[in-house]
Structure 1
Amino acid sequence: MRAEPLSAETRREALDAMAGTSPEDPLDILIVGGGVVGAAAAFDAATRGLRVGLVESQDLAQGTSSRSSKLVHGGLRYLQMLDFKLVAEALRERDLLLKHTAPHLVRALPFVFPFEKRVVDRAFIGSGVSLYDAMSMRPGEKRPVPFHRHLSRTRLRQRFAGLDHEKFIGALEYYDAQVDDARLVMTLARSAHSLGAQIATRTEVIEYLRAEAPDVDDADQAAAEDAPVQGVTVRDKETGRRLEIHARETILAAGVWTGRQQEAADVPSGLKVLASKGIHITVPKDRIAADDHVGVITQTEKSVLFIIPMGNYWSIGTTDTAWHEDVDTPAPTSEDIDYVLEHANAVLEADLSREDVIGSWAGLRPLLQPMETDESKSSKVSREHTVMQLSPGLSAVAGGKLTTYRVMAEDIISFALGDRQVHRESLTHAMPLLGAQGYSEWESRAPEIARDYGWSDETVDRLLNRYGALLAELLALVDQDADLGEEVPDSGGHLRVEFVYAARAEGALHVEDLLERRTRVFHEVPDRGLRAMETVVELVAPILAWDEETVAREKAAFTGVVEAHLAAERSSSDAEAAGLVSAATPEYLPG
């Protein structure tokens, strides 16, 4: 698979190509939603040789899929629920990512689970993690992560000095994995595009197209409402242009937006998805003493507390609270941040305060609600996700979690194809994502790259973890212009070339795309990227053809986003936080 760029130009080409479809010449599959499941579904369909399109109303991964705990894991808590099948599936997917499909993006991460009760905790937690390890074993295959081990109080102090060692008498150390979720989504979308899928972000669905129904009386109205869906009408949010896209099968992969899309499609019944908010904060690396690459997990009364190393900072979360506001604008409140700090300080030696918080994010988990299975709609239900036919030609997938995205994508594409899937098997279990092939060779060259380009070992390791073998494309740009190898001031160590490459090849269209998702500067520096913005705009303006008016609009838009999020962190309620963020949401349409 040759890496093809995603760019403003390829977006225009995708919209033109999809506008050229017709009822007689439709796409095979059109996917609505550019989160991890939608991007993965596009990749899955493309590996089957199908004609595929994907539209997303915002940026890739702008919703839930860039606001997770950024973990790829089996789910220890599901063992407590005795859901062994789900844990086994998630562990299988974790190991597949680590070993084959995305070893450059997904990396093993050890966690310590501290004990307060010497006998009870070691017996209870130890037996659960032993089962966890056993479920990931496969005959004839080498494990991608080590087995768990028990730590004495002394060894725990050496491993994670920043814990409150008066409270904990030891720990268990086990392995899962972590990923930059937004980059995973972008890589999935770009991998799909490289196989021929048409990808268009900032493209909003405003209507679902149905086959013309004959004139009917009221008694036959239900039959008319079930006329097959044949595609969608969309609005290009960059230009205002409206166009029709025709498809044999349309798939909703909209997460917490599922209900909104079902209403737009005017389907009488469908999936019921509620939203639960989880928040994370970031604090500087030097505020918590520990080995460079080890995290902490412990339970709280409402959720799970993770303390996760992420380069030059720590991520701490999460919460689990019902969300009743607009799903477009989740944000942490003051109470949320205080809750996380309180629970972190309960296990840490350091006393973290609000002054230590350099970033935060809130994500909405799509929680499927129980429903009666209608066999006529051919629904398929699992413990974590559901695929369902909403109307002829229109199917949906919802629920699940980041780790099992590939299974969800394969399920919904196979389900939508139905009998037409003969000789069109999914290849996503075997096909690596872009950047994975040749990654080990590039990894072995890390010392040489650091020496030749004057970068630290940490910088090269970070680049390999972001790009894998695609690092060759960035090095080629630096070879043409050595200045691109320099750091952007106040960006937390990101290089100029990373922003140039994001605009040229990773589908970034706006400053917030660059600073919040293609990189995570928004969460990594105290000013949320405002000072770095000046240099970033200078770098990408020529690539994205921004004139002076557009530059001023981009700067004002990102400044407004930062100020709104900072204000939300001081707010007293979800409604207030959502209102602040909503008011600052940019409208990029010229004029």
Structure 2
Amino acid sequence: MPAPRLGPDYRRTALRRLASDEFDVLVIGGGVVGAGAALDAAARGLSVALVEARDWGAGTSGRSSKLIHGGLRYLEQFDFKLVFEALKERRLLLNRLAPHLVRPVPLLFPLRHRVWERGYAGAGVLLYDLIGRTKQLPAHRHLSRAGVLRAARGLDPQALVGGIQFYEAQVDDARHTMTLARTAAQYGATVLTGARVTELVRAGERVVGAVVRDAETGTEITVAARRVIGATGVWTDETHEIAGVPAPFTVRMSKGVHLLVPRARLDLGSGLIMRTEKSVLFVIPWDRHWIIGTTDTDWALDRVHPAVSRADVDYLLARVNAMLTDPLTAADIEGVYAGLRPLLAGESAETAQLSREHAVAEPAPGLFVIAGGKYTTYRVMAADVVDAAVRGFGRAAPKSLTEHIPLLGALGYHEMWLERGSIADRTRLRPATVEHLLHRYGSLVSELFHLIAERPDLSEPLAGAPDYLRAEAVYAVTHEGALRLADILIRRTRISIDQPDRGLAAAAEVARLVAPHLGWDAEREQAEVVHYTQRVKAERAAQQAADDHAANAARLAAEEPAPTPVYNPLTIENG
């Protein structure tokens, strides 16, 4: 089957289908669990609609630590079930489901205490390796102090006595989430962003659909469905409120902050994982940068734009600098982002101690909600909520098949990777550019090459973000469903965190490239650039604020752009 193109024509058709068809399953929420549930249900042969208020991965699923991991610290908490489950999923993603998006990353655990810590930590890492064994990841190894300093010369010799190196996996979370949604569309799901659920529809006590507002036109449509699944993460309590039912469980938000510093700034040959008094600190290689994270603090403010404060930055810098010979300063930071973990609320006062397990409930007949969990186990969570939804369907539904379904771009990726040199020669692109594209698109890179063949100027790098081609901006709109400039700069690409200016220099060029494909006039094109500029300005102001409340107020100074009607998809048949 050809990969679906989630461009404007697809969107018009999708809105008409939502208004006219009855679906077996309507999934609310376009994060990794919602997109995974849509794929799971569609692969079982069910008719599926997936709606997301903003963009694929716009919430938590695009703001993680970019790791696919079993959670080594959960072994210490004796949560063996979660670790076994997560390591199986890591193996599937690396080997079968998304090898183009998920790849190995080395991590070094510095030891600070003699004798007992090596034995204690070493036993845990050995068990972790045995549980998660896969040919894609080398076995762990113990290092002396001299061995650690050879692998990571930037570490302070006085801050460690040795170390253990082991491997995890890394993912571009927003691209992975978008690819899940696009794969669901390939299996027949109708998927749509910019579609906010404003109320649920009932027949008596049973939930039989939802009212959805199109963000581009303001039009409201009623979507009929036999089952509705809410996979809304930190918005789960809001889903219960819309349903008008008591919450079977509540979600507590934990803010995780990440900083990006230039790769050349830290003399490390491996990523790092270190204990803190609250949680775990990672230093993770990310193309030309290191990602330093994360915090784990309670958050009760704006859920759409969790803000990073000066206190967050100072906390992370202090923890990582305790291990470095050449300490980092705020001036070294080139990118910043924060995400909110949806933790199942419990009795603990500390968010770091709340459960990472997930829960599924049916708070009203026909409505199923899922919350909790962790990014790595999204597929298990999706299968669990679909299993619950299809019980009593009146016809037998197959069991989950997603363990065996490679995501778009996976099939043929390995072969193309081996041929990347000849691909570079054939396309006249630099070998490094071809590798960059294969790691982002897998075998779907052929679609970008087709765009470039039609418009050779798209092979040029973006002037304000030379690691990305102009074709990638256009492809984000024509094939990947991006609706706004921020969708492209923040999630389809990572220009917003990869560039020191956070994408300001690239914004106008990207807007100009995509305007014809989205039907933007000059006023809308300029408005998108202005809004993105204001967003960056507000984020920088938040980072200077002393605490969460001040940072939240500064971040909210950049308002979301109002809907700008471009077309009415329910009345216009042709683009």
TM-score (norm 2): 0.94
Q: Offset of 1:203 from its aligned partner?
A: 1.0
**What residue is the counterpart of 2:169 in the other structure?**
177
Counterpart in the other structure of 1:537: 511
**1:70 touches 1:180 (CA, 8 Å); kept in 2?**
yes
- 1:15 matched to which residue of 2? 15
Counterparts in 2 of 1:541 and 1:162: CA distance versus 1, 3 Å: same
Amino acid at match of 1:245: V
Which residue of structure 2 aligns with residue 130 of structure 1?
Answer: 126
CA distance in 1, matches of 2:368, 2:287: 40
How far did residue 207 of structure 1 move?
Answer: 0.9
How does 1:216-365 map onto structure 2 within 5 Å?
227-291=205-269, 294-365=270-341
User: For residues 491 and 511 of structure 2, what CA distance do their matches in structure 1 show?
Assistant: 16
| Mapped pair 1:393 → 2:366 | yes
Instruction: Tell me which stretches of 4 or more aligned residues in structure 1 moved more than 6 Å.
Output: none
From 114, 121, 124, the counterpart of 2:117? 121
| Partner residue of 2:201 out of 209, 213, 233 | 209
1:240 alignment partner, SS class: coil
Q: Which moved more, 1:10-19 or 1:452-461?
A: 452-461
Give the match's secondary structure for 1:494. Answer: strand
Output the CA distance in 1 between the equivalents of 2:254 and 2:502.
25
Deviations 1:422-457 (A, max 9, x none): 242221000100000011111111112233444444
2:569 aligned residue: none
Match of residue 107 from structure 1: 103
Q: Does the 8 Å contact 2:62/2:491 carry over to 1?
A: yes
Deviates more, 1:33-42 or 1:485-494: 485-494
Q: Is the 8 A contact 1:492 1:525 kept in 2?
A: no
The 8 Å contact of residues 29 and 45 in structure 1, kept in 2 or not, is answered as: yes
For 2:127 and 2:242, the matched residues in 1 are separated by 45
SS of match in other structure, 1:118: coil
User: Which of 580, 585, 591 does residue 554 from structure 2 map onto?
Assistant: 580
**Partner deviation per Cα, 1:388-434 (whole Å, 9 max, x = no partner):** 00100101000000000000000000111114362422210001000
Contact 1:400 1:408 in 2 (8 A): yes
Q: Which residue of 1 aligns with 2:148?
A: 156
CA–CA separation in structure 1 for the residues paired with 2:148 and 2:463 = 37
**Would you say the 8 A contact 2:183–2:407 is kept in 1?**
yes
Residues 343, 356 of structure 2: 8 Å contact kept: no
CA RMSD of aligned residues (A): 1.5
Deviation at residue 191 of structure 1 after TM alignment: 0.2
Pairing 1:48–2:26 present: no
Give the aligned partner of residue 558 of structure 1. Answer: 532
Q: Distance in 2 between matches of 1:461 and 1:572?
A: 41
Of 31, 34, 38, 1:38 maps to: 34
Change (3 A) 1:348 1:459: farther
Please show how residues 449-468 of structure 1 align to structure 2 within 5 Å.
449-468=423-442
| TM-aligned CA distance change 1:456 to 1:153, over 3 Å | farther
Give percent identity, aligned residues only: 47
Residue 383 of structure 1: CA displacement?
A: 6.2
So what's the TM-score if we normalise by structure 1? 0.92
Deviation at 1:200, TM superposition (A): 1.3
1:376 aligns with none
Aligned to 1:445: 419
Distance in 2, Cα, partners of 1:319 & 1:184:
23
The 1:492/1:352 distance shift into structure 2, 3 A limit, reads farther
Distance 1:68 1:159, change over 3 A: same
1:492: Cα distance to partner?
4.9
Instruction: Provide Cα deviations, 1:200-245, integer angstroms capped at 9, x if missing partner.
Output: 111111111010x4xxxxxxxxxxxxx0001111111110101100
Identify the residue that residue 88 of structure 1 maps to in structure 2.
84
8 Å contact 2:159–2:322 — kept in the other structure?
no
- Indicate conservation of the 8 Å contact 1:309/1:315, yes or no: yes
Segment of structure 1 superposing worse, 359-368 or 575-584: 575-584
Distance 1:133 1:492 in 2: 39
Q: Distance in 1 between matches of 2:356 and 2:305?
A: 28
Structure 2 contact 237–247 (Cα < 8 Å) conserved = no
2:356–2:374 CA contact under 8 A, matched in 1: no
CA shift for structure 1 position 269 = 3.1
Residue 58 of structure 2 is aligned to residue 62 of structure 1: yes
1:38-94 deviations in whole A, cap 9, x for unaligned?
A: 000001111011110011111111100011101000000100001111101100000
Q: Deviations over 1:464-505 (max 9, x none)?
A: 111011011111222222221111012151111111111110
SS at match of 2:512: helix
Task: Identify the residue that residue 3 of structure 1 maps to in structure 2.
Answer: 3
Q: Deviations over 1:512-534 (max 9, x none)?
A: 00000001111111211011112
Of 536-545 and 382-391, deviating more is 382-391
Matched with 1:410 is 383
Is this contact kept in 2: 1:42–1:54, CA < 8 A? yes
Q: Distance in 1 between matches of 2:320 and 2:246?
A: 46
CA contact (8 A) 1:282 1:313 kept: yes
Give the whole-Å Cα distance in 2 for the aligned partners of 1:36 and 1:45: 14
Contact 1:287 1:350 in 2 (8 A): no
Counterparts of 1:543 and 1:308, CA distance in 2: 36
Which residue identity does 1:126 align to in structure 2? G
Pick one of 54, 74, 93 that aligns with 2:70: 74
In structure 2, the residue matched to 1:499 is 473
Letter in 2 for 1:487: P
The answer to whether the Cα contact below 8 Å between 1:34 and 1:201 also exists between their aligned partners in 2 is: yes
Equivalence for 1:480: 454
Distance in 2 of aligned mates of 1:577 and 1:49 = 46
- Matched-pair contact (CA < 8 Å) for 2:63–2:337: yes
Q: How far is the alpha carbon of 1:565 from its aligned partner?
A: 0.7
Matched, 1:384 2:370: no
Q: Is the 8 A contact 1:34 1:56 kept in 2?
A: yes
* Aligned-partner residue type, residue 450 of structure 1: A
Does residue 547 of the first structure (1) align with residue 521 of the second (2)? yes
SS in 2 for 1:329: coil
Q: CA separation in 1, counterparts of 2:388 and 2:227?
A: 10
Paired AA for residue 79 in structure 1:
L
Cα deviation for residue 350 of structure 1 reads 2.0
Q: CA deviation at 1:458?
A: 3.1
More divergent stretch after superposition (484-493 vs 328-337) = 484-493
* Matched positions, count: 557
| Cα 1:65–1:551 shift into 2, 3 Å | same
